[in-house]
Amino acid sequence: MKGYRKYFLNKGLWFIVTFIIAFILNFVLPRLMPGDPVAAIVARMAQGSSNATGVQAIYKQYTELFHTSDPIVTQFVIYVRNALKGDFGYSISQYPRTVTDVIKASIMWTICLQFPAIIVGWLIGNTLGALAAYLKKGFDKVLMPVSIFVSNFPAFGMAVIFVVIFGVGLKWFPTSGGYGYDLMPAFTWRFIWSVITHYQLPFWSIVMIAIGGQAIGMRSMSIYELNADYVKYARFMGIKDSKIIRYVFRNAMLPQVTGLALAVGTMVGGALVAEIIFSYPGLGTTILTGVMGQDYPLISGVTLIITLMVLVATLIIEILYGFIDPRIKAAQSD
């Protein structure tokens, strides 16, 4: 454990630096755009209104809200101070709720949906890929084209197909929402059951997408390892096949873990869009309402939270990777 200090420190430092830069980007990007963002917001809000003093008042209010008349450094300081307190201002489209309230209501849905789905998809995908590499022949011939096709399918396409087949066609599961529209969130059996049935379609559609990509990667990694010299040597030594396979897959797994750390961002992006198809009450749907309502503070808050989530997930995977990759352990004992 002691030997890992340098590795963890390095990863932790990276996490902090990346987060700070992502945070700055979140602040700077919208302000880099040509034109006055406040004027644009006011113009959208005041559409059809001919009352000049009213428009002026709205403009003044938003200038104060975003502090756009202050110098950019002051703006940044205020932004940081508010963000540290968890205050992202009021949501425009869902006034008088604050952005923090809106995010609080949706973030758990996204976390509980996406991370289990990605992990389950990753596990199943890797198992199938390894089996395809080992068994070859029939299994491989069937699995590979299917995986290639599935992994090329856009996440939202898979979501729509699932809705149509299992929701509209077979009527096994409800097509939209996170729970029955006639229920209020509460700890009753009926509510929990409703949440579980609504969970199935989004969950499995995300899992399916993850399986395809992972299976392909794991298969080629395993084929590569199975042809490695140490496998041949072990065979000559008369070591049992089942034991060799354990070595092979452990080695083939390692790049897959790093791959997962790098792919989490993309997967979350695709899954957020899939949420929209199911009208799942998570962050994806929140982004959509934010876009529809031209709700600047909400979009900014949600993107920051998503970035944080992805960064944390990446950090966790990298820490786990430190424990399972023998090379890192070896490097630390020097």
Partner 1 sequence: MKHTLQQVFHSGKFVVGFIIFMGLLLTTIIYPLIVRNDPLEIIGQGTFFPPGIYVSVYDSIGSTRYILNLDEAAANRIASKLTDTDRLAMKDWLVADGIPDYEIDTTDTVKLMDQWVSNYSPTASIPGMTIAKTRYYQRLNTSLEGILSKEGVTIATRNAESGALEETGTVLQSDYVNVGQVANVRLLPLGTENFGRDVLTELVKALSVSLQIGLVSGSVATLIGLTLGLLAGYVGGMMDDIIMFLTNLFTVIPTFVLLILISFSIGQEHRGPNTIAVVIGFTSWVWTTRAVRSQVLSLRNRDHVNLSKLSGHSIVHIILNDILPYIASYVVMAFVLQIASGILAEAQLSILGLGPRTTDVPTLGLMMNWALIYQAQVLGMWWAYIPVIVTIALITFSMNLMNTGLDHVFNPALRD
Q: In this complex, which beta carbon is closest to partner 1, that of residue 37 or of residue 116?
A: 37
Site string for partner 1, 182-221 (x = CB under 8 A): --------------------------------------x-
Q: Kindly indicate which of the ranges 49-57, 65-73, 230-238, 298-306 contains the residues binding partner 1, using the contact rule CB under 8 A.
A: 298-306
Of 89, 84, 81, the residue nearest 38 (C-alpha): 89
The span from the first CA to the last CA of the chain, in angstroms, equals: 14
Output 146 or 329, the one with its CB closest to partner 1.
146
Q: Is 14 in the site for partner 1 (CB under 8 A)?
A: yes
Tell me whether residue 28 or residue 239 sits nearer to partner 1 (CB atom).
28
Among residues 110, 87, 20, the alpha carbon closest in space to that of 311 is found at 20
- Closest distance to partner 1 from the beta carbon of 181 (Å): 13
Instruction: Report residue 278 CA to chain centroid gap.
Output: 16
Is 239 one of the binding residues for partner 1 (CB under 8 A)? Answer: no
8 A C-beta contact, residue 260 and residue 122:
yes
Three-state DSSP at 51 gives coil
- Tell me the window of 48-56, 112-120, 201-209, 306-314 that interacts with partner 1 (CB under 8 A): 306-314
CA 231, CA 219: separation in Å to the nearest integer? 16
Structure tokens at 277: 């198809």
- Select from 156, 173, 199, 203 the one that contacts partner 1 (CB under 8 A): 156
> Would you say 322 and 22 are in contact if contact means Cβ atoms under 8 Å apart?
no
Does 116 help bind partner 1 (rule: CB under 8 A)?
Answer: no
Choosing from 80, 108, 291, 330, the residue that interacts with partner 1 (CB under 8 A) is: 291
Work out the number of other CB atoms within 10 angstroms of the CB of residue 144: 16
Cis check: omega of the bond before 96, within 30 degrees of 0: yes
In angstroms, the CA 152 to CA 209 distance is 8
Q: Which residues bind partner 1 (CB under 8 A)?
A: 14, 17-18, 21-22, 25-26, 29-30, 32-33, 35, 37, 40, 148-149, 151-157, 160-161, 163-164, 167-168, 175-176, 220, 223-224, 227, 262, 265-266, 268-270, 272-273, 276-277, 284, 287-288, 291-292, 296, 299-300, 303, 306-307, 310-311, 314
